Structure 1
Amino acid sequence: MNQEQLQRRIELAGPKKQSMARRKQDHDYQSRRMYMITMTTEGRQPLLGTVVGDPRQPFGNEEVPRTVPSPLGQAITACWYEIEKRNDDISVVAFQLMPDHFHGILFVKEHIDKHLGTILNGFKTGCRKAFRTLCPVEYAVALRRQTQRRGRHDDDHGILFAPGYNDKILLRAGQLDNWKRYLADNPRRLLVKRQHPEFFRVQRAMAWKGMTFSAIGNLFLLRKPFLVQVQCSRRLTEEQIKEKTDAALKLCQQGAVLVSPSISPGEKAIMRAAFEKGYPEIIIKDNGFAPLTKPSGAGFDACASGQMLFLGPTYHSNEHKAITRSQCLNLNDIAEKLCQ
Structure 2
Amino acid sequence: MMTSAYRPRNPGHDYYGRGTYLITLVVSGRERVLSFFSDNKDGENLTNRKTLVLTHLGEVVANTWLRTPEAQAVHGNRVRVHAYVCMPDHFHGVIEVLEPMAWSLGDIIQAFKSVCTSHWQRQQGLAASVDRSISVDLKEEGMPAWLREKAQRYANEGALIRNLSKKQRQEYYALVGRSQQPLFDDNYDDTVCLDERHRKAMIAYVNDNPRRAILRRLLPEYMRRCLHVRIGNRSYGAFGNLFLLRWARKIQVQCHRKHPITGQPYEETVDYTNERRQWETAIMEGCTVIVTPGISAGERLMKNECLDKGFPLIHLQKEPIDFFWKPERQRFDACATGALLILAPWELDQMGDVAGVPSDSDYSRFHNMNTLAAEICSFDGEAKIMMR
TM-score (norm 2): 0.72
Report whether the alignment pairs 1:253 with 2:268. no
Cα distance, 1:87 vs. partner? 2.5
Unaligned runs of 5+ in 1: 1-18
Report whether the alignment pairs 1:223 with 2:276. no
Report whether the alignment pairs 1:72 with 2:57. yes
The one-letter code matched in structure 2 to 1:95 is Y
Residues 121, 287 of structure 1: alpha-carbon distance in 2 compared, 3 angstrom cutoff = closer
Report whether the alignment pairs 1:117 with 2:96. no
The one of 334, 350, 374 aligned to 1:302: 334
* Conservation of the 8 A alpha-carbon contact between 2:252 and 2:374: yes
In the alignment, which residue of structure 1 is the partner of 2:153? Answer: none
The one of 116, 119, 128 aligned to 2:117: 128
Query: What do the CA deviations read for 1:10-60 (whole angstroms, capped 9, x no partner)?
Result: xxxxxxxxx9744421222211111111111111223112123346544xx
In the alignment, which residue of structure 1 is the partner of 2:367? Answer: 329
- Of residues 238-247 and 163-172 in structure 1, the stretch that sits farther from structure 2 once superposed is 238-247
Report whether the alignment pairs 1:286 with 2:318. yes
Report whether the alignment pairs 1:169 with 2:192. yes
SS of residue matched to 2:282? helix
Cα distance, 1:294 vs. partner? 1.7
In the alignment, which residue of structure 2 is the partner of 1:38? Answer: 24
For residues 51-200 of structure 1, what are the structure 2 equivalents within 5 Å? 51-54=40-43, 57-58=46-47, 63-64=48-49, 66-88=51-73, 89-136=78-125, 150=144, 151=147, 153-155=168-170, 158-200=181-223
Structure 2: how far apart are the matches of 1:192 and 1:274? 20
* Conservation of the 8 A alpha-carbon contact between 1:288 and 1:315: no
The one-letter code matched in structure 1 to 2:268 is E
The one-letter code matched in structure 2 to 1:248 is W
Residues 139, 69 of structure 1: alpha-carbon distance in 2 compared, 3 angstrom cutoff = farther
Structure 2: how far apart are the matches of 1:85 and 1:104? 16
Unaligned runs of 5+ in 2: 148-163, 174-180, 259-265, 350-358, 379-388
Structure 1: how far apart are the matches of 2:289 and 2:21? 39
Cα distance, 1:229 vs. partner? 0.9
Structure 1: how far apart are the matches of 2:269 and 2:44? 40
In the alignment, which residue of structure 2 is the partner of 1:244? Answer: 275
TM-score (norm 1): 0.82
Residues 210, 121 of structure 1: alpha-carbon distance in 2 compared, 3 angstrom cutoff = closer
Structure 1: how far apart are the matches of 2:45 and 2:51? 12
Structure whose CA Rg is larger:
2
Structure 2: how far apart are the matches of 1:23 and 1:204? 23
SS of residue matched to 1:174? helix
Cα distance, 1:228 vs. partner? 0.8
What RMSD over aligned residues (CA atoms) do the two structures have, in Å?
2.9
For residues 15-26 of structure 1, what are the structure 2 equivalents within 5 Å? 21-26=7-12
Residues 21, 66 of structure 1: alpha-carbon distance in 2 compared, 3 angstrom cutoff = farther
Structure 1: how far apart are the matches of 2:361 and 2:53? 43
Cα distance, 1:330 vs. partner? 1.6
Question: Percent identity, aligned pairs only?
Answer: 28
Report whether the alignment pairs 1:29 with 2:15. yes
Structure 1: how far apart are the matches of 2:268 and 2:127? 61
